[in-house]
């Protein structure tokens, strides 16, 4: 008997960080794996993940995700001590880590996670090199988005 490919989550997306698109100019995209424990996978399957206030740090040549919250399930974590906001190691190549270090140190980029999703049976994290937006940049992007919405309404009414 074949299993349905998208049995629990239709798109494969686990969690999104919509706030990052508002606060940063996202420029260079990368995909990273995450080193997780068993109770974390069970919680992720239940959708108990929040990645809104996270960032990536690099220490000793390794990248870590800080600030992501995975809420433990009561039945899955009875015998394990759970830390919901622990730093989780990101699985990246040495070349990718060197590129992140160079962009962060030389050009002043931040490293932000924007999405967590399933890729086959693995949990992947979409990270971006990003520059912070100023208040006037945020207002401009809101104004542009509203203008696009109004333009679409007018075009829809004319047709």
pLDDT of 98 over the 80 cut: yes
pLDDT of 18 over the 80 cut: yes
pLDDT of 64 over the 70 cut: yes
Location of structure tokens 């399933």: 118
For the ranges 2-16, 19-33, 70-84, the lowest mean pLDDT is seen at 2-16
CATH superfamily of the 13-133 domain? Small protein B (2.40.280.10)
Listed by start position, the domains of the chain span: 13-133
Which positions ≥6 away from 79 have C-beta within 8 Å?
Answer: none
Local confidence band at 32 (pLDDT 50, 70, 90 cut-offs): very high
Smallest CA-to-CA distance from 96 within 36, 56, 66 is with 56
Q: Chain-wide mean pLDDT for the chain?
A: 85
The answer to whether 71 and 86 have CB atoms below 8 angstroms apart is no
Please write the tens of the pLDDT for every residue from 105-159: 888 888 999 999 999 889 999 999 988 877 777 788 888 888 889 989 888 888 7
pLDDT of 77 over the 70 cut: no
> Per mean pLDDT, which of 2-16, 40-54, 72-86 is the most reliable?
40-54
Local confidence band at 76 (pLDDT 50, 70, 90 cut-offs): low
């Amino acid at each position: 008997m074949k299993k349905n490919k998208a049995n629990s989550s239709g798109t494969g997306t686990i969690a999104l960080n919509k706030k990052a698109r508002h606060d940063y100019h996202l420029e260079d995209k990368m995909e990273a794996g995450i080193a997780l424990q068993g109770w974390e996978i069970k919680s992720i399957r239940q959708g108990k993940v929040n990645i809104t206030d996270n960032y990536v740090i690099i220490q000793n040549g390794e990248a870590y995700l800080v600030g992501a919250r995975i809420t433990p399930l009561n039945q899955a974590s009875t015998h394990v001590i759970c830390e919901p906001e622990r730093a989780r190691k990101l699985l990246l190549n040495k070349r990718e880590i060197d590129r992140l270090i160079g962009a962060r140190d030389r050009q002043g980029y931040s490293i932000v996670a924007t999405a967590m999703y399933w890729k086959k049976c693995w949990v992947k994290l979409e990270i971006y090199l990003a520059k912070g937006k100023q208040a006037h940049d945020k207002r401009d992007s809101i104004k542009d988005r509203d203008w696009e919405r109004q333009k679409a309404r007018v075009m829809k009414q004319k047709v």
